Amino acid sequence: MGVADLGLPVDVPSTALFTDQYELTMLEAALAAGTAGRRSVFEVFTRRLPGGRRYGVVGGTGRVLDAVENFRFDADVLRFLRERGIVDEPTLEWLASYRFGGDIWGYPEGEMYFPGSPILRVEGSFAECVLLETVILSILNHDSAIAAAASRMSSAAGDRPLIEMGARRTHELAAVAASRAAYVGGFASTSDLAAGFRYNIPTVGTSAHAFTLLHDRERDAFQAQVASLGRNTTLLVDTYDVAEAVRTAVEVAGPELGAVRIDSGDLLLVAHRVRQQLDELGATGTKIVVTSDLDEYAIASLAAAPVDAYGVGTQLVTGSGHPTCSMVYKLVARAKSADPGAPLVPVAKRSTGGKTSIGGRKWAARRQDEYGVAEAEVIGTGTVPDELVDRLLLVELVKGGQVVGREPLDAVRDRHAAARAKLPISATQLSRGEAVIPTEYV
């Protein structure tokens, strides 16, 4: 069980300032107008998938739950807001005792989503819900983008394991979140020790070119590494001459050598040559790991190569060209008055340019065909049709302010694999195309 499963705090004392100023100024105005207590429903969704993507992956839900629990305005935060004159004293007094006391429903983490899918539904007073907009979106937009990229890469890799190794290509805290999202999307391990510590993700790593360059001879570097890490280690063989390095590696470690890593050159050609050389040297069980700016397309191009594992960095932690999912957080229903029994009425923004929203508190279900393959994302605001009752997607995550939906990361990872397997085969195609199933509104 990882620390996330235990509900331990995030990496800062409070998440309350992970927000935009207008969330607090709206709160101040609503408190003064007497509308802050109106029961409200906010939903997170995206109007479209990133260009060329066939599906989206929900990532970051567990981190959202941590962030909501730790959304607290402590003395230092309140002092900052007071000194800057951001909100007035009555608002500061209200914030001092803030605790989210509403309900949150959402697609379970690892599940697929499509245009219009109500990925997260936040219900409570306007005041308590509106404050969470920015932190929820920042987590879901980032983690879902990484999870989707990871899913495409793991699909392209097939049964070959993927190593996440992008920590040096992004912000140090984003790197931990990216590693978590990559694990959800199908990666097997990470090089980032903070991710291993925080989320119990398997960690791997041996040596870089600097270790080879440190020594007078490549042989000396290999001998030092094998002496320290054992014959099952992975030796980096492209610092100088690959063929000579492979020969030296087998001489030093013997045919029990665990693996060699190739980090440059024509990976398809070099992998075939290295595999042939290893076999000729009797190291038939030695694996080949390739790295070097891989993305899902490069991984797919190596499907016929004698490669045993891939290491992916930059392209993964930047969403492979799509670092955000363009999710939004919109008020879709609110009570007619502050009376707790007042009925909800649908509300929605009207605009041109593709930003129109659909009002109403929504449910979502995924209709399947006779073979159990998804054929449509069905979204509605009224009664759920009988045939879709067992296909509803949203699950309860927070009830009365208490987290009820926290789960182990391995369960999330397994869910993703199962959900992807139920999509049409064309979902895993890397060619550009529309969402693999349509969204239907009823």
Place of tokens 């759920």: 384
The tally of CA atoms less than 13 A away on the side-chain side of residue 1 is: 7
pLDDT over 70, % of the chain: 96
Is 81's pLDDT higher than 70? yes
Average pLDDT, the chain: 95
Confidence bin at 1 (pLDDT 50/70/90) = very low
- First and final CA of the chain: distance in angstroms? 41
pLDDT above 90 coverage of the chain, percent: 92
pLDDT band of 353, cuts 50, 70, 90: low
Q: How confident is the model at residue 11 (pLDDT cuts 50, 70, 90)?
A: low
Angle at 51 between CA 347 and CA 362, to 5 degrees: 25
C-alpha distance from residue 307 to each of 114, 157, 268, 408 (Å): 33, 10, 9, 31
Contact 291, 313 (CB under 8 A): yes
Residue 403: exposure state from Cβ atoms within 10 A (0-12, 13-18, ≥19): middle
pLDDT tier at 2, thresholds 50, 70, 90? very low
- Give the C-alpha separation, 171 to 315, whole Å: 14
Task: Please tell me the predicted confidence (pLDDT) of residue 275.
Answer: 98
Check whether 418 has a pLDDT greater than 80. yes
Nearest-angstrom CA–CA distance, 34 and 122: 21
- pLDDT interval class at 433 (50, 70, 90): confident
Only one residue has tokens 């590494």, namely 225
The whole-number pLDDT of residue 10 equals 39
pLDDT of 199 over the 50 cut:
yes
pLDDT value at residue 352: 67
What is the distance, to the nearest Å, from the Cα of residue 16 to the centroid of all Cα atoms in its chain? 22
Higher pLDDT, 152 or 4: 152
pLDDT at 162 over 90: yes
pLDDT in tens, 357-415: 899 999 999 999 999 999 999 999 999 999 999 999 999 999 999 999 999 999 999 99
Distance from C-alpha of 346 to C-alpha of 91, rounded to nearest angstrom: 27
Name the residue with tokens 């191009």.
Answer: 301
User: Strands 56-57, 374-380: parallel, antiparallel or unpaired by DSSP?
Assistant: unpaired
User: 138-160, pLDDT tens digit by residue?
Assistant: 999 999 999 999 999 999 999 99
Compute CA distances 161 → 295, 307, 372, whole Å: 14, 10, 27
Go through the chain and tell me how many residues it has: 442
Measure the CA–CA gap between 237 and 440, rounded to whole angstroms: 53
Q: Is residue 92's pLDDT more than 50? A: yes
Q: How do residues 204-262 score in pLDDT, each as one tens digit? A: 999 999 999 999 999 999 999 999 999 999 999 999 999 999 999 999 999 999 999 99
Q: What is the rounded distance in angstroms from the CA atom of residue 136 to the CA atom of residue 397?
A: 13
**Listed residue (170, 132, 179) closest to 20, CA to CA:** 132
Residue-level pLDDT at 356: 73
**How high is the pLDDT of residue 13?**
63
How far is Cα 400 from Cα 441, in angstroms, rounded to an integer?
29
CA nearest to 252, candidates 278, 275, 221: 221
Q: How far is CA 70 from CA 7, 11, 124, 338, 424, in A?
A: 10, 10, 17, 27, 39
Q: What does the pLDDT look like over 26-64, one tens digit per residue? A: 999 999 999 999 999 999 999 999 988 999 999 999 999
Of the listed ranges 9-18, 141-150, 200-209, 342-351, the least confidently predicted one is 9-18
> In this predicted structure, which of 5-14, 79-88, 392-401 has the lowest mean pLDDT?
5-14
The DSSP H or E segment spanning 363 is strand 363-368
Write the DSSP string, 166-180: -GGGS-HHHHHHHHH
Q: Coil, strand or helix: which one is 173? A: helix
Q: How far apart are CA 394 and CA 250, in angstroms?
A: 54
Is 270:288 a contact under the CB 8 Å cutoff?
Answer: no
Q: Of the candidates 162, 144, 133, which has an alpha carbon nearest to the alpha carbon of residue 61?
A: 144
Cα distances (angstroms) measured from residue 327 to each of 117, 189, 191, 207, 245: 10, 28, 29, 39, 48
All domains in the chain, ordered by first residue = 3-146+322-441 (3.20.140.10), 206-307 (3.20.20.70)
